[in-house]
């Protein structure tokens, strides 16, 4: 017998980098999902087949044995191993599982692929053992898998992947879920350049250290854009959202996290009818998002 679960990726609409300094961020689930198919094993191994990501292998405890792909790929799969083992530990069962991962979310481009896979893994394993966990429990266990990859994640990604919809987050107030009553037509453009979030955050921190007053002003402005953007989003004010996205992109360019490919994607989108466009995530590569009315989406 096998069971299946899936979870969506995410995009940051407002708040990249400024969220590190206590400003709010606005994050949305996207309609690209990670799917995990699980079945029980008679031993305690966790076998992971991530064929469309180019690697597979199994874990005995914390030790990874590759079947396809390089040994270092085990770092990418370790989060799934933790998510699966922590789920079994939480529900009080022992055993192993075969996990088949099929993800439509590109990795390492800021779209929350690791969180989506962790959430789908937890959901699939708990269904495999008929645990009937609550969404909050699934999110919390998936968070433990996320820490393997990101160290100290905010918890936004696993929450968005679990609950969907839209969320805001800041260090003081934590995570708050919001309701959208209408789909917003965003388009994602991928530069196909993977980037290191840690390096981009460190680069911005170094710029802030050299120019504290000027950077404080920019980060404050980013925080204001996030607050205004959330308000516009909840009112489905598309024209205003587009304006705020363009302003945010200007500030992200000013702090050095945009690239020529991202700028070309943004300008091309605007020239073909997009109401606004900006990078999403840490920058330095990754993805751009554009807001477009339905008739302009093909362009």
Which residues does the annotation mark as catalytic? 157
8 Å CB contact between 277 and 288: yes
Contacts 24+ apart (CB under 8 A), 138-145: 138/162, 139/163, 141/83, 141/86, 141/87, 141/90, 142/83, 142/115, 142/118, 143/118, 144/82, 144/83, 144/86, 145/79, 145/80, 145/82, 145/83, 145/86, 145/114, 145/118, 145/121
User: What is the β-pairing status of strands 287-291 and 186-190?
Assistant: antiparallel
Structure-token pair, residue 149 = 């990859």
Instruction: Give the span between the Cα atoms of 143 and 221, in whole angstroms.
Output: 30
Q: What are phi and psi of 174, to 5 degrees?
A: 75, -150
d(CA 242, CA 67): 46
Q: What angle do CA 108, 109, 113 make, to 5 degrees?
A: 65
Give the closest residue to 242 by CA, choosing from 275, 288, 279, 290.
Answer: 275
Cα gap 3→196, rounded to integer Å: 34
């Amino acid at each position: 017998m096998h069971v299946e679960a899936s979870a969506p990726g995410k995009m940051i609409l407002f708040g990249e980098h400024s969220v590190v300094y206590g400003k709010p961020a606005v994050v949305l689930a996207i309609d690209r999902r990670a799917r995990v198919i699980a079945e029980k094993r008679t031993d305690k191994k966790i076998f992971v087949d991530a064929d469309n990501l180019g690697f597979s292998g199994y874990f005995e405890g914390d030790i990874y044995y590759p079947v396809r792909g390089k040994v270092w790929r085990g770092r990418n799969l370790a989060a799934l191993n933790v998510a699966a083992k922590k789920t079994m530990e939480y529900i009080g069962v022992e055993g192993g599982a075969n996990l088949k991962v099929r993800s439509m979310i590109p990795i390492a481009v800021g779209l929350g692929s690791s969180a989506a896979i962790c959430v789908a893994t937890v959901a699939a394993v708990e269904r495999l053992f008929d645990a009937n966990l609550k969404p909050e429990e699934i999110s919390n266990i998936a968070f433990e898998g996320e820490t393997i990859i990101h160290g100290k994640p905010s918890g936004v990604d696993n929450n968005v992947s679990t609950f969907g919809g839209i969320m805001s987050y800041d260090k003081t107030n934590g995570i708050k879920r919001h309701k959208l009553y209408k789909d917003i037509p965003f388009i994602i453009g991928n530069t196909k350049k993977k980037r290191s979030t840690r390096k981009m955050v460190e680069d911005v921190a170094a710029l802030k250290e050299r120019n504290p007053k000027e950077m404080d002003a920019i980060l404050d402005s980013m925080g204001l854009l996030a607050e205004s953007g959330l308000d516009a989003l909840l009112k489905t004010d598309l024209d205003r959202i587009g304006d705020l996205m363009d302003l945010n992109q200007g500030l992200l360019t000013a702090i050095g996290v945009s690239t020529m490919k991202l700028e070309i994607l943004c300008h091309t989108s605007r020239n073909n009818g997009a109401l606004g466009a900006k990078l999403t995530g840490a920058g330095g590569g990754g993805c751009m998002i554009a807001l477009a009315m339905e008739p302009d989406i093909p362009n």
